[in-house]
């Protein structure tokens, strides 16, 4: 419930969708257009009150908390432009009162930033203005297609993050790689380290001093001179599947960061215009009912067509 006093002070009662959220993050979501430095200033000065008392930026909101937000001037920001033409129309794989799973197309970032004015989350919020809460449960690389899960309640988001961190979810991908993979199943346990390349780009490499990263690869089938692999993520490190495969000498076709660049140029002429990595399956426990939910996304037509062409020309 929101109330506006005569001095434009906003007073809000916290409901279940905001329970557990840090007050600084809550304010930044409420006060769009207000610089982060100003949000922290009004917190430090005590102008923001919870239950009439001062709180720190790390205070986590509880159900029924009364939050007082002082009047602030917000910058007038134009709405991010949505795609032209018919716009983004997601294929919905699963939806109920707590969760939303879509089949993310390749080439679309999951959120705005780094030169991208909008992403999947912004487009969905734009298409669903009535939604009180909508947040990404996890992320996919821009070029990766497939199952993407979002939460429609904060309690659902918190529980999904707990399951991800505890390794209680099942995340499976399909990757078409250079070369002939021979093992039916291979467990790859290689630590990964993030670094910034000379170009300023974020990169990842295999390094024993990095974060633990575990992937299980299974051979699906041979496709001409390539191999189709099922990759099961047991940890969720940045670019994990891509870096593990490149390190083993089996780069993903079309990977513009860790792949075989001369081969990628040739593949583009043959019709592969993107990285061949697809999030095929996600299995979780429903945050409310605790029932197991399995969400699957079929390979997109462009990847199926490329595989068919590769078999014919083998």
User: Which residues are tagged catalytic?
Assistant: 141
In b/e form, how buried is each residue of 206-234, taking b as 16+ CB within 10 angstroms? beeebeebbbebebeeebeebbbbbbbbb
Do 2-69 and 91-312 have matching folds? Answer: no
Q: Residue 222 — very low, low, confident or very high, per pLDDT cuts 50/70/90?
A: very high
Of 5-14, 222-231, 291-300, the one with minimum mean pLDDT is: 5-14
pLDDT (tens digit per residue) in 29-87? 788 778 888 888 889 888 999 998 998 888 988 888 889 998 886 554 444 444 433 46
CB 111 within 8 A of CB 134: no
The average pLDDT across 215-237 equals 96
CA distances from 295 to 70, 87, 157, 276 (A): 44, 24, 17, 20
The domain locations on the chain are 2-69, 91-312
pLDDT averaged over the chain? 88
Please report the pLDDT score of residue 4 as a whole number.
44
pLDDT at 216 > cutoff 80: yes
Q: What is the mean predicted confidence (pLDDT) over 204-227?
A: 96
Correct CATH for 91-312 of 3.40.50.2300, 3.30.2350.10, 2.40.40.20, 2.60.120.580:
3.30.2350.10
Distance of CA 174 to the CA centre of its chain: 17
pTM: predicted TM-score of the whole model, two decimal places: 0.76
Which of 10-14, 232-236, 256-260, 306-310 shows the lowest mean pLDDT across its residues?
A: 10-14
Q: Quickly list DSSP for 217-277.
A: EEEEEEETTEEEEEEEESS--TTHHHHHHHHTT-PBTT-TTTS-HHHHHHHHHTT--S--E
* From the candidate CATH numbers 3.50.50.60, 3.10.290.10, 1.10.10.10, 3.30.1490.20, the one assigned to the domain spanning 2-69: 3.10.290.10
pLDDT, position 77: 47
Residue % of the chain over a pLDDT of 90: 62
- Which tokens in the block code for residue 234? 């047991």
Classify residue 32 by its DSSP letter.
Answer: T
């Amino acid at each position: 419930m929101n109330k506006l006093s005569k001095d434009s002070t906003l007073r809000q009662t916290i409901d279940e969708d905001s329970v557990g959220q840090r007050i600084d993050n809550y304010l930044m979501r409420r006060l769009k257009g207000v610089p982060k430095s100003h949000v922290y200033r009004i917190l430090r000065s005590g102008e923001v009150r919870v239950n009439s008392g001062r709180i720190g930026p790390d205070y986590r909101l509880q159900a029924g908390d009364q939050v007082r937000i002082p009047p602030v001037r917000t910058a007038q920001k134009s709405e991010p432009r949505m795609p032209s033409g018919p716009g983004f129309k997601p294929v919905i794989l699963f939806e109920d009162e707590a969760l939303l799973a879509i089949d993310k197309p390749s080439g679309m970032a999951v959120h705005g930033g780094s030169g991208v004015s909008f992403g999947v989350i912004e487009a969905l919020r734009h298409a669903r203005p009535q939604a009180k809460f909508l947040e990404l449960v996890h992320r996919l690389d821009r070029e990766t297609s497939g199952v993407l899960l979002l939460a429609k309640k904060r309690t659902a988001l918190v529980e999904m993050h707990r399951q991800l961190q505890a390794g209680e979810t099942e995340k499976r991908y399909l990757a078409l790689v250079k070369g002939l993979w021979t093992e039916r199943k291979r467990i790859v346990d290689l630590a990964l380290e993030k670094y910034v390349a000379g170009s300023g780009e974020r990169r990842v490499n295999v390094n024993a001093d990095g974060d633990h990263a575990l992937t299980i690869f299974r051979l699906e089938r041979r496709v001409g001179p390539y191999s189709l692999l099922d990759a099961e993520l047991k940890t969720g490190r940045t670019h994990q599947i891509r870096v593990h495969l490149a390190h083993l000498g089996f780069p993903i076709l079309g990977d513009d960061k860790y792949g075989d660049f001369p081969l990628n140029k040739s593949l583009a002429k043959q019709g592969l215009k993107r990285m061949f990595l697809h999030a095929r399956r996600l299995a979780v426990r429903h945050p409310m009912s605790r029932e197991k939910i399995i969400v699957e996304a079929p390979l997109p037509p462009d990847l199926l067509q490329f595989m068919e062409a590769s078999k014919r020309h083998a």
